[in-house]
Amino acid sequence: MTVATEYGTSNVADRLWEGVQPEAARRLLVSGLGLFAAKGFHGTTTRDIAARARMSPAALYVHYRTKEDLLFQISRIAHEAALAAITPETSGPGDPVRQLKAAVAAFTAWHAHHHTAARVAQYELAALEPAHFRVVAAVRLTIERNFRTMIERGVAAGEFEVSDVPATALAILSLAIDLARWYKPGSRHSPEELSELYAALALRMVRSGG
């Protein structure tokens, strides 16, 4: 049995919400996630979410103040997990080539495994209340800064040659984040294959001699 089967995408995706307690709150969150991904935040009612979780409409308000609060929990957890996925690769010193490669691989694998969570987290940002948006925006900025810093360190070390660091960082992030749009389990490439390929493409994007 391969690792890809043993930890299939749905299992990996489910583990993202393990910290959401109690179990009823988690069931509602997973229900909301599926509906937001399929019909959008504005196309989903709290009644739909409760029904899909096999709970009463009122039960939702025990765990979430509003539908937007449930979206915020999804978005916050997903963004923090995406940041956590790259943190071991980006923290501290080390060879910027190896760091950037590992970070792009981890960020890509995360977005393939969690394509549904990523879709909702990325596409429904405008539905967040200002205070919630600020929390999520801070995590996004940290992710962007981590990529910029790796690129800058590679430039300083003479390994990379980049005309516009912030825009190149955004372009590298786009590779992985856009998986939320098109990746599906059963796509031609596994998350691991995409990781390896995108890490190599990202290195080509920044290395000198292009």
CB-count burial class (<10 Å; 0-12, 13-18, 19+) for 167 = exposed
Q: Per rule CB under 8 A, is residue 42 in the interface with its own copies?
A: yes
Q: Per rule CB under 8 A, is residue 4 in the interface with its own copies?
A: no
In the numeric block, which tokens belong to residue 38? 């399929």
Q: Per rule CB under 8 A, is residue 41 in the interface with its own copies?
A: yes
Q: Per rule CB under 8 A, is residue 130 in the interface with its own copies?
A: no
Q: Name the 3-class secondary structure at 207.
A: strand
Would you say how long the chain is, in residues? Answer: 210
Q: Per rule CB under 8 A, is residue 88 in the interface with its own copies?
A: no
C-alpha 179/C-alpha 80 separation (Å) is 18
| 50 residue type, one letter | A
Stretch that binds its own copies, among 22-30, 65-73, 149-157, 174-182 (CB under 8 A): 174-182
Burial 181-200 (b: 16+ CB within 10 A, else e): eebeeeeeebbbebbbebbe
* Interface characters, 144-163, with its own copies (x: CB under 8 A): -------------------x
Binding test (CB under 8 A) with its own copies, winner from 11, 19, 38, 138: 38
Chain residues that interact with its own copies, rule: CB under 8 A: 38-44, 122-123, 126, 163-164, 166-168, 170-171, 174-175, 177-178, 181-182, 188-189, 193-194, 197-198, 200-201, 203-205, 207, 209-210
